[in-house]
């Protein structure tokens, strides 16, 4: 980034937001994460001095690992790492601070990322605002999780080459936006940035909506709802700008529809994704909803299908080359949707 003062301003803004929210989850989060330890202490606290040998119990099958609230927050944190890195590079030319990358699991590096040479001042300011929000989400979730926070996994937000395409080019090829002899660069200009952002934003909204039912702690649920609302604002903003710019550049609306169809082809047979144009092409479709006007949900596996750019069950690929840093394979794997 060429303007050092602007670079400092983003981190000042992030610090201010983080301080405002810092204590929100600590008590509830600590209580939730302590449940397992409390149960263990209760089991060990039996003062019965009867030393008579007990019969050997029949071994029971090992139960499948259950998903707890910390798992869901870490699932969200993986996605926020991806979004924060993309927007921070696009808006400011720098990625996340090293202090926001550590945690459990294998810490990975970011491949790709560049500052967009914005020509539209409004788009530039929107990008900066979203970047600040996304970095704040990372800081907030890490604070809530404490030592349970996962490290940033390996992330690919690169363009790549014709022969070795990066994640963005692979996504654009899958959607039919570019051919096998072309690359897609979301950092090239304003419109390309908006299309790159569009790949992520709707997925984030459906991911938080789908995960809400898995959260037991009401404080965690309120926090997740707050991030969901922010992501929905971001998604609506990106969709609105693309639709508006589509008046002068109709291909933007067409490409948005292609990206939507590609996401739908990855996450299963259900039709839970929509472009930005209504069915009669004379009305916008800024908010993709069902017949009841409700936003769609995606399961953890479906979100990974899109993040990994695959319709098969696997761990890793696309924007997360080595997979997300979630605790179990069930939380890291995409679904078998081929």
Determine which of 116-125, 262-271, 318-327 has the lowest per-residue pLDDT on average: 262-271
Q: What pLDDT score does 273 carry? A: 79
- The set of residues, in sequence order, having a beta carbon less than 8 Å from that of 158 and lying 6+ positions away, is 111, 112, 113, 166, 167, 168
Q: What pLDDT score does 32 carry? A: 41
The more confident residue out of 297 and 253 is: 253
Q: What pLDDT score does 9 carry? A: 56
Full-model pTM? 0.83
Q: What pLDDT score does 322 carry? A: 98
Q: What pLDDT score does 44 carry? A: 38
Q: What pLDDT score does 46 carry? A: 44
Q: What pLDDT score does 8 carry? A: 45
Q: Is 19's pLDDT higher than 80?
A: no
Per-residue pLDDT of 223-259, as tens digits, reads 999 999 999 999 999 999 999 999 999 999 999 999 9
CA gap 93, 86 in Å, rounded: 10
Determine which of 124-128, 220-224, 281-285, 316-320 has the lowest per-residue pLDDT on average: 281-285
Q: What pLDDT score does 271 carry? A: 72
Confidence of residue 270 (pLDDT cuts 50, 70, 90): confident
DSSP classification of residue 165: B
How distant, in Å, are the alpha carbons of 47, 127, 161, 167, 258 from that of 158? 60, 18, 9, 6, 20
Q: Structural domain boundaries of the chain?
A: 4-20+67-331
Q: Is 26's pLDDT higher than 50?
A: no
Q: Is 41's pLDDT higher than 50?
A: no
The pLDDT of 61-81, averaged and rounded, is 84
CA gap 306, 300 in Å, rounded: 10
Q: What pLDDT score does 277 carry? A: 82
Per-residue pLDDT of 184-212, as tens digits, reads 999 999 999 999 999 989 899 999 999 99
The pLDDT of 27-37, averaged and rounded, is 40
CA gap 26, 93 in Å, rounded: 32
């Amino acid at each position: 980034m060429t303007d050092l003062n602007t670079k400092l301003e983003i981190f000042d803004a992030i610090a201010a937001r983080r301080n405002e929210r810092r204590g929100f989850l600590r008590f509830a989060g600590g209580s939730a994460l302590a449940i397992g330890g409390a149960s263990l202490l209760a089991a060990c606290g039996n003062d019965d001095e009867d030393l008579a040998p007990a019969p050997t119990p029949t071994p029971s099958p090992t139960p499948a690992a259950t998903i707890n609230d910390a798992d869901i927050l870490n699932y969200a944190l993986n996605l926020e790492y991806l979004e924060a890195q993309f927007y921070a590079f696009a808006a400011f030319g720098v990625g996340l601070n090293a202090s926001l990358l550590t945690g459990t699991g294998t810490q990975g590096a970011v491949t790709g990322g560049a500052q967009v040479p914005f020509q539209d001042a409004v788009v530039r300011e929107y990008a900066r605002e979203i970047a600040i929000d996304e970095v704040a989400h990372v800081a907030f979730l890490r604070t809530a999780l404490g030592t349970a926070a996962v490290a940033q996994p390996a992330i690919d937000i690169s363009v790549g080459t014709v022969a070795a395409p990066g994640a963005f080019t692979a996504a654009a090829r899958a959607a039919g936006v570019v051919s096998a002899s072309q690359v897609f660069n979301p950092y090239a200009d304003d419109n390309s940035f908006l299309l790159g952002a569009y790949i992520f934003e709707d997925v984030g909204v459906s991911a938080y909506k789908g995960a809400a039912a898995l959260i037991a702690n009401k404080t965690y649920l309120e926090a997740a709802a707050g991030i969901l609302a922010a992501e929905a604002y971001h998604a609506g903003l990106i969709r609105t700008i693309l639709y508006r710019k589509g008046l002068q550049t109709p291909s933007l609306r067409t490409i948005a529809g292609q990206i939507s169809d590609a996401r739908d082809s990855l996450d299963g047979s259900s039709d839970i994704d929509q472009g930005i144009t209504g069915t009669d092409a004379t009305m916008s479709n800024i908010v993709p909803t069902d017949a009841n006007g409700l936003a769609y949900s995606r399961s953890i596996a479906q979100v990974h299908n899109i993040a990994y750019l695959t319709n098969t069950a696997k761990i890793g690929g696309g924007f997360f080359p080595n997979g997300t840093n979630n605790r179990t394979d069930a939380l890291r794997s995409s679904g078998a949707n081929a």
